[in-house]
Structure 1
Amino acid sequence: MKRLKKKKQNAALGECRNESVTKEQDCGRKQKLAEIHRALISDPVDVEALRRAAAGKGGLLTDEVRRKVWPKLLNINVYKLPRKPGRDVRKNHKDYNQVVLDVRRSMRRFPQGMPATERGVLQEQLIDIILEVLQRNPRLYYYQGYHDVAVSLLLVVGERMAIAVLDTLSRFHLRDFMDPTMDSTKHILNYLMPILEQVDPELHDFMIRAEVGTIFALSWLITWFGHVLSEFKHTLRLYDFFLASHPLMPIYLAATIVLRRETEVKQTECDMAMVHHLLSRIPQDLPYELLIGHAQDLFEQYPPSLLARRAALQSHKSLSISTFPAFQLSTLHQRPDSVLQRLTRSHGAAASRHGLEAALSRGQLWGKGNRLVKMAVWGLSATLGAAVFTVAQTAMDWGPEVLLQLF
């Protein structure tokens, strides 16, 4: 009886502890959401706070929050998103066939159990997104793995915003991977070994003797780990982190993964094929929060400028690295969405009013000098915004009496 009683007491204590942890987590989650909300409604938007939230424990928590924060991290006005691309021109793009092949092979990147028809629609959108961004940036070259980034964006933010996000990433964070040759990509990979050398010279020397190189981390880098992680939630956690960080942060994270597997690596036969085989198979149970924190620490201790000097990496000019400071500064002067929406509506109303005024001045609306009609149109435009333009145009076809009845 005593044993049974003790068991029940221990179980009760365990439940209390679990409940306490759950409450603490819930409280922390609510506090973080409140901080993100405050940062979003600040004028200008507190982008630094958003970066801290995205990189900090748990990342941005939900897709709904990501849809609000990701554009701010990239200085994207969600009220000026690109129009959906027309499909009549995409087949003429030089990369069309390769993009289609890669997208068709991307079935595992979509949620399990998704109906084939729905997945088919998303795959068509994915092709459109990629080709639209490439058409906008003719100097950028498609690479295999680019679609892994695009599909992660599509599944979170939808087609139109995915175009804007991918376009910005392609011109900044992913820029080095989109050259006509692999030289810039190899340059970024070359930062990996100097990081290992600074932290664990013994591991570094072992990998040098094995002549394993850094190609095992290529897919990690160019897809932001999207191609190698089986759980989408882990991919999104890393995307939060990378969107808020320096373009080289993925290589720092790659270094933390290799360092975590130090014992495994050293116990492997010092042979290129054996070590490459081990490292290229990324574990699926990694402690991501721990690794993200470690990557941030490594970045602060061994910044890219220091590594470049010590490893003679300065001879190659990285566009991602060189353009990042200016890009980061450009994100600090954004207006909150409520203001952008109001400005967009005002701009639309002004455009509608000017169009109507021009038509009136040309005498196209029921004769010149009809001051009453002009005043009616101005009033409607200012009050209802751009949407009224369509209503007013329809009313004009019927005559001024119909327009006046709208008041």
Structure 2
Amino acid sequence: MARQRKKKKQTTRGKKDKIQQQQLEYDKDELQEQRKKDEILEAIQIQDLDKLRLLGRQPNGFVSNSLRRKVWPLLLHCPQWNKQNKKYYMPHKDEQQVLLDVARSLGTYPKGLSEKKKKKLQKELNHVIVQVLRKYPKLHYYQGFHDVCTVFLLLFESQEGASQLMGHVALFYLRDAMLESLEPILRELTLLDTLFRLEDEELHQFLQMTGVLPYYCLSWVITWFSHDLDDLPSIYQLFDVFLSSNPMMPLYASAALVMMHRDTILNHFSMDDPSTVHSYLSKLPQQRHLDVTRWIKWMVDLENKWNPLLVQKYGNVALDQVSSINTHHSLLFSTTSIYLSRQRHHHQQQQQYQQLLENNVEEWVTQACDVLTLPPLDRLPLNLDVIKSSKSINMIPPFLTYSSSPPWKMILVSAVGLGTAAILVAHRPDIISSWSY
């Protein structure tokens, strides 16, 4: 009897110790989260964009939706996003397709949406997309753009604000997907194979022997995973990372997601069954209990190790010089310089620097719109010969000028499979529309 009482006492003490340990861990997490919130608020106050980008690339990103509503506009250079915006009335050629996609939207998240609320949001979503297209009529709408717009609309709860912000997302991040065809994006997807070769030769060889092409991740890249994930908080965290990074980050995220499941791929699938492998890969974002924290750390580490320039060089695949990936550094450099100058000067000169920033962003909007008007053969490939083979490079150098390479070199960087896929997508839009909405 005494032994039983002693055992019961030990069990009770063990449970108490476990509860206390859990409480200590919870308190520690709460303290870390509060410290990060304080860091974010301080960076917002002084508009330290470099610090915000650093914080956004960490797990849990900008922590809360209220902070995201403050940070995302800064990263997109839209501090006046909530002001009354001009409305545009000239119809865009793709508006009928927008209507079809919007009618199939908002079926996955947010959870528990009433039919009345859903119809209201769909109307607002249509307004967001149409205003972006009418404001920048050279943009070509693609199926999946509405998924990204949905996330912004749900977070900011303002169709006018979401439209303003999505305009800059389209021009500075998704521009390569909004040209006259998806060929630039399909070319970017071939760099996935390069990342596998650089990081995991065994996985790379398996996928090569299987013959699986990287088009299973097309929707991941052009929708920032918002089409394939059904957990809105996780999507917000991914958007924190993407908005804080080079526009190629969704490709790093794709590579990291596949490599996280490399053991399952290598041990449970056969090289002789490419269709099954392709099906498994395409559904990876829908895996239960997806560790988003680990995933974010993996993708950021991958980009830190192999920046976009090096991946293009080692893959011998040159993206366009004017691609959003290869011009992103210039936007970061110019706007960050203005913010730093603003911090160093007296408050009386703040208005002057705000005007300088606005003029700078307007110039970048104009240049982005100019890229949209370029014929495909005028969008010359990056000269890979000037890229140093050094892992220490962490920024695209400021020497991106048009190379003297003839336009036909653009064609040579594409493999037969890429060309086939580009033609297939161009003539068979049902391939993309077959995504389940």
| TM-score where L is the length of structure 2 | 0.73
Query: 1:180-219 to 2 correspondence within 5 Å?
Result: 180-219=180-219
Residue identity opposite 2:36 in structure 1: K
Q: 2:68 aligns with which of 66, 69, 81?
A: 66
- Give per-residue Cα distances to partners, 1:100-145, cap 9 Å, x unaligned: 1111111324422222222211111110110111111122100000
The answer as to whether partners of 2:269 and 2:277 remain within 8 angstroms in 1 is yes
Q: Does 1:136 align with 2:135?
A: yes
| Partner in structure 1 of residue 146 of structure 2 | 147
| Alpha-carbon distance in structure 2 between the residues aligned to 1:65 and 1:132 | 26
- Give per-residue Cα distances to partners, 1:175-229, cap 9 Å, x unaligned: 1111111111112211111000011111111111111100110111000000011
Superposition deviation, residue 84 in structure 1: 6.6
Superposition deviation, residue 250 in structure 1: 0.9
Q: Does 1:177 align with 2:177?
A: yes
SS in 2 for 1:27: helix
| Partner in structure 2 of residue 324 of structure 1 | 328
The answer as to whether partners of 2:247 and 2:325 remain within 8 angstroms in 1 is yes
The answer as to whether partners of 2:320 and 2:326 remain within 8 angstroms in 1 is no
Residue identity opposite 1:25 in structure 2: D
Superposition deviation, residue 261 in structure 1: 1.1
| Partner in structure 2 of residue 286 of structure 1 | 290
SS in 1 for 2:132: helix
SS in 2 for 1:108: coil
| Alpha-carbon distance in structure 2 between the residues aligned to 1:81 and 1:331 | 21
Question: Cα RMSD over matched residues?
Answer: 2.2
Structure 1: tracts of 5 or more residues without a match: 348-407
| Alpha-carbon distance in structure 1 between the residues aligned to 2:84 and 2:135 | 11
Which stretch shifts more, 312-321 or 202-211?
312-321
The answer as to whether partners of 1:174 and 1:247 remain within 8 angstroms in 2 is yes
| TM-score where L is the length of structure 1 | 0.78
Query: 1:2-21 to 2 correspondence within 5 Å?
Result: 2-21=6-25
> How many residues are treated as equivalent by the alignment?
338
Superposition deviation, residue 272 in structure 1: 1.9
Q: Does 1:48 align with 2:50?
A: yes
| Alpha-carbon distance in structure 2 between the residues aligned to 1:289 and 1:80 | 31
| Alpha-carbon distance in structure 2 between the residues aligned to 1:217 and 1:318 | 23
| Partner in structure 2 of residue 309 of structure 1 | 313
| Partner in structure 2 of residue 396 of structure 1 | none
SS in 2 for 1:107: coil
Residue identity opposite 2:39 in structure 1: E
| Partner in structure 2 of residue 96 of structure 1 | 95
CA spacing shift, 1:205–1:62, aligned 2, 3 Å: same
| Alpha-carbon distance in structure 2 between the residues aligned to 1:286 and 1:62 | 20
Q: Does 1:238 align with 2:228?
A: no
CA spacing shift, 1:169–1:284, aligned 2, 3 Å: farther
| Alpha-carbon distance in structure 2 between the residues aligned to 1:159 and 1:69 | 18
CA spacing shift, 1:36–1:130, aligned 2, 3 Å: same
| Alpha-carbon distance in structure 1 between the residues aligned to 2:141 and 2:319 | 25
| Alpha-carbon distance in structure 2 between the residues aligned to 1:308 and 1:269 | 30
The answer as to whether partners of 1:219 and 1:225 remain within 8 angstroms in 2 is yes
Q: Does 1:269 align with 2:270?
A: yes
Superposition deviation, residue 318 in structure 1: 5.3
CA spacing shift, 1:65–1:322, aligned 2, 3 Å: same
Which stretch shifts more, 262-271 or 130-139?
262-271
| Alpha-carbon distance in structure 1 between the residues aligned to 2:288 and 2:332 | 32
- Give per-residue Cα distances to partners, 1:323-355, cap 9 Å, x unaligned: 20121124323469xx89x969xx9xxxxxxxx
| Alpha-carbon distance in structure 2 between the residues aligned to 1:199 and 1:260 | 12
The answer as to whether partners of 2:148 and 2:223 remain within 8 angstroms in 1 is yes
Q: Does 1:166 align with 2:166?
A: yes
Superposition deviation, residue 75 in structure 1: 1.2
Superposition deviation, residue 167 in structure 1: 0.6
Superposition deviation, residue 61 in structure 1: 1.2
Query: Which of these two proteins has the greater Rg computed from alpha carbons?
Result: 1
CA spacing shift, 1:316–1:322, aligned 2, 3 Å: closer
Structure 2: tracts of 5 or more residues without a match: 356-437
Superposition deviation, residue 316 in structure 1: 4.1
| Alpha-carbon distance in structure 1 between the residues aligned to 2:288 and 2:67 | 25
- Give per-residue Cα distances to partners, 1:350-397, cap 9 Å, x unaligned: xxxxxxxxxxxxxxxxxxxxxxxxxxxxxxxxxxxxxxxxxxxxxxxx
Residue identity opposite 2:219 in structure 1: S
Residue identity opposite 2:295 in structure 1: L
SS in 1 for 2:11: helix
Query: 1:358-373 to 2 correspondence within 5 Å?
Result: none
Q: Does 1:34 align with 2:38?
A: yes
- Give per-residue Cα distances to partners, 1:15-66, cap 9 Å, x unaligned: 1011101111111111111111111111xx1111111221112111111100
| Alpha-carbon distance in structure 2 between the residues aligned to 1:79 and 1:281 | 35
Residue identity opposite 1:32 in structure 2: K
Superposition deviation, residue 81 in structure 1: 3.9
The answer as to whether partners of 2:81 and 2:161 remain within 8 angstroms in 1 is no
Question: Identity, % of aligned pairs?
Answer: 29
| Alpha-carbon distance in structure 2 between the residues aligned to 1:80 and 1:114 | 25
